[in-house]
Amino acid sequence: MSGLEKIADNLAFGGRQQQWLHNSEALSCRMRFSVYLPPAAEHSKLPWLLWLSGLTCTDENFSHKAGAQRLAAELGVALVMPDTSPRGEGVADDSAYDLGQGAGFYVNAEREPWRGHYRMYDYVSQELPALLRRHFPLNGRCAIAGHSMGGHGALVCAIRRPQDYVSASAFSPICQPTQAPWGRKAFAAYLGNDETAWAEWDASLLLAERGCPLPLRVDIGLADAFLAEQLRPDALQQAARRGDTRLELHRHAGYDHSYYFVASFIDQHLRFHARHLLA
């Protein structure tokens, strides 16, 4: 049983901004997610954007800070915001901000103490979309996007299962986690020390090997303190060239890693996805 329960419902730009709880089978815990349903959702099933958030975030950061609902309402594109990890007292955690709760990294963990709950890839790519299409006015046309760790998640999902999406985009993504401190720490914990197993969770390695038939867009701020060490967009760009992938990579002078950067360009991402979602 999904145990689906609505815990918040606010009118926003003529549509509904809602927060829900449900029992996740993939994660073996109760999970919260947010959804924004534009006014047009009252009359028909809408295409939708799945947004994956970054380290320390919940379903609320994008909902509160990105300012995406205004244009989503106008375009008739629904927004879905999952949490960033399993949660709860029985769920393994770590005192660091970049491991454990709030830091699921959108992988399926294989190591103790994580593997019982930390299956965020299965959750965001399979279980949650199925639940959403069953219970919400959403159709089969889905785009995926995210920020930082969530940008990594969005790219990995899109490259691994391009048949599930019409387009993918990312703000400030961790483009090559196997070579970045955040990624190496998380992958060692969740996946183990055999680095060959990490390759299937690294967007740059995946893209170089498989390519991606989807239109991809990535935006990076050049004043992002994490740019060189953690994000490594050059690796993604090189992989896209090798894989013959349509990647638009936009570099923005002066912008940093914050949601002010996301808010500044979210309209461009929504219009990018709408071209494919509404085609």
Contact status, residue 257 vs residue 224, Cβ threshold 8 Å: yes
Contact status, residue 117 vs residue 100, Cβ threshold 8 Å: no
3 state DSSP class of 27: coil
Contact status, residue 147 vs residue 257, Cβ threshold 8 Å: no
By beta-carbon proximity to a second copy, the closer residue of 73 and 207 is 73
Residues 84, 102: Cα–Cα separation, whole Å? 5
By beta-carbon proximity to a second copy, the closer residue of 56 and 258 is 258
Question: Which candidate in 63, 148, 167, 204 is catalytic?
Answer: 148
CB of 54 to a second copy, least distance (A): 15
276 is catalytic: no
Among 17, 34, 167, 204, binds a second copy (CB under 8 A): 17
Select from 100-108, 125-133, 230-238, 254-262 the region that touches a second copy (CB under 8 A).
254-262
Select from 74-82, 88-96, 250-258, 269-277 the region that touches a second copy (CB under 8 A).
250-258
CB of 65 to a second copy, least distance (A): 5
Any contact of residue 7 with a second copy (CB under 8 A)?
no
Contact residues for 241 (Cβ-Cβ < 8 A; gap 6+) = none
Any contact of residue 10 with a second copy (CB under 8 A)?
yes
Sheet strand arrangement including 46-52: 5-12, 15-24, 29-37, 78-82, 46-52, 138-147, 168-171, 216-221, 247-252
The alpha carbon of 63 is separated from its chain's Cα centroid by a whole number of angstroms, namely: 13
CB of 135 to a second copy, least distance (A): 22
Q: Where are the alpha helices (DSSP H) in 100-212?
A: 120-122, 128-135, 149-160, 181-191, 203-210
* Residue 211, both tokens: 């390519």
Residues 68-107 touching a second copy, rule: CB under 8 A, are 69-70
224 is catalytic: yes
CB of 153 to a second copy, least distance (A): 23
Amino acid at 261: F
Contact residues for 130 (Cβ-Cβ < 8 A; gap 6+) = none
Question: Which candidate in 59, 202, 219, 224 is catalytic?
Answer: 224
Residues 257-276 touching a second copy, rule: CB under 8 A, are 258-261, 263-264, 267
CB of 169 to a second copy, least distance (A): 19
Residues forming the active site: 148, 224, 257
Residues that bind a second copy (CB under 8 A): 10-14, 17, 64-65, 67, 69-70, 221, 223, 254-256, 258-261, 263-264, 267
